[in-house]
């Protein structure tokens, strides 16, 4: 047969892994044009729109289409299973397909249903027994098969928060070194140090967004864990402490961000002057800590009151290490 004009790859990609990328690139080598259909259902553990976005990043040479119609997921669920899928696919495909490329046997029936040729994927040692179900069951154990963008979703994020001069940066740096991963530094320091610490209320939105953006970018390069020296929510606490209110734009940055663990450091007696520190009074720092107790949920939170850095670090290492234990 002549080279196919249009190939179809269909999957849930929940989540995408290197086997899926191999499948799509195999299809791109077979046909002039490839459409990747990401089929999703409501209430699945990874949002469908996110998976479609991942696939657009991973296979930019293909056309990625998100199919979010509620359809039966197995032929046993509906007598017209294949007819339903044919109508749904023909309704979103940019053109008729000549080739269906798949790594599973359903591809042959799907190709027949669409009047296309089936091209099975070679399944060798590299991706044998690799499935989205296996990855979801223990993503940290399958870290090597996850693309960077998917790693960012599964990375266990740990935020280190609390008042000034409590040792947050020291602890965050030590944890990153201990677990061989990355530490997200304070964006506020990056922004304000060149100004000698001069801060305006309008800066807080950029600080919160800069912290979140840095965290999300580094999450793609971390090793299973991402240690965050502060987080966007702490910027909102600072806004309250310094200005008595929080702009909605600042509060919104911290909303719905996911952290596996919050390490909340209690204030220490000492205070080291610094151009980017604003609360020399112990009472201020104590009040700041009390506000953190209200803001950060008690679940997945560890309070570290110990003044001894070795004790504090040991307790933190134990808590963070537990995040890497296999499920169950």
Domains of the chain: which residue ranges? 6-137, 155-322
DSSP 50-61: HHHHHHHHH-TT
> Using one digit for the tens of pLDDT, what is the confidence trace for 8-19?
999 999 999 999
> Using one digit for the tens of pLDDT, what is the confidence trace for 64-92?
999 999 999 999 999 999 999 999 999 99
Written as six digits, the tokens of 221 are 């390069």
What percent of the chain lies above the pLDDT cut of 90?
A: 88
Does the domain at residues 155-322 carry the CATH identifier 3.40.50.300? Answer: yes
Per-residue pLDDT at 190 = 96
Closest CA to 153 of 197, 97, 216: 216
Say which CATH architecture domain 6-137 belongs to: 3-Layer(aba) Sandwich (3.40)
Which residue did the predictor score with more confidence, 306 or 34?
34
Mean pLDDT check: name the lowest of 2-11, 213-222, 253-262. 2-11
Stretch 89-102: mean pLDDT, rounded? 96
Beta-carbon count within 10 A of 278 CB: 14
> Using one digit for the tens of pLDDT, what is the confidence trace for 245-287?
999 999 999 998 999 999 999 998 888 888 999 999 999 999 9
Closest CA to 15 of 43, 60, 47, 42: 47
């Amino acid at each position: 047969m002549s080279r196919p004009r249009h190939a179809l790859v269909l999957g849930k990609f929940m989540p995408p892994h290197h086997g899926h990328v191999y499948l799509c690139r195999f299809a791109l080598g077979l046909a002039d044009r490839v459409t990747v259909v990401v089929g999703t259902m409501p209430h699945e553990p990874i949002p469908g729109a996110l998976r479609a976005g991942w696939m657009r990043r991973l296979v930019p040479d293909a056309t990625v289409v998100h199919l979010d119609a509620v359809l039966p997921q197995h032929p046993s669920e509906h007598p017209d299973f294949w007819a339903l899928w044919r109508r749904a696919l023909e309704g979103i495909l940019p053109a008729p397909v000549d080739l269906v490329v798949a790594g599973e046997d359903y591809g042959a029936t799907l190709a027949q249903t669409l009047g296309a040729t089936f091209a099975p994927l070679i399944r060798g040692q590299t991706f044998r027994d690799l499935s989205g179900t296996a990855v979801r069951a223990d993503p940290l154990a399958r870290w090597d098969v996850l693309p960077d963008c998917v790693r960012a979703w599964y990375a266990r994020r740990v935020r280190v928060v609390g008042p000034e001069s409590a040792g947050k940066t020291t602890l965050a740096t030590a944890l990153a070194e201990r677990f061989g991963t990355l530490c997200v530094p304070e964006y506020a320091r990056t922004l304000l140090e060149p100004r000698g610490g001069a801060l305006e209320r309008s800066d807080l939105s950029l600080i919160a967004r800069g912290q979140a953006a840095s965290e999300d970018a580094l999450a793609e390069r971390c090793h299973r864990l991402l240690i965050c020296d502060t987080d966007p929510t702490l910027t909102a606490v600072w806004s309250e402490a310094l200005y008595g209110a929080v702009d909605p734009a600042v509060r919104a940055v911290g909303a719905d961000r996911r952290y596996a663990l919050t390490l909340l450091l209690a204030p220490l007696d000492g205070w080291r002057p610094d151009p980017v520190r604003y609360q020399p009074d112990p009472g201020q720092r104590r009040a700041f800590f009390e506000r953190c107790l209200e803001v950060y949920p008690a679940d997945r939170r560890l309070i570290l009151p110990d003044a001894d850095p070795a004790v504090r670090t040991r307790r933190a290492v134990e808590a963070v290490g537990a995040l890497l234990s296999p499920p169950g």
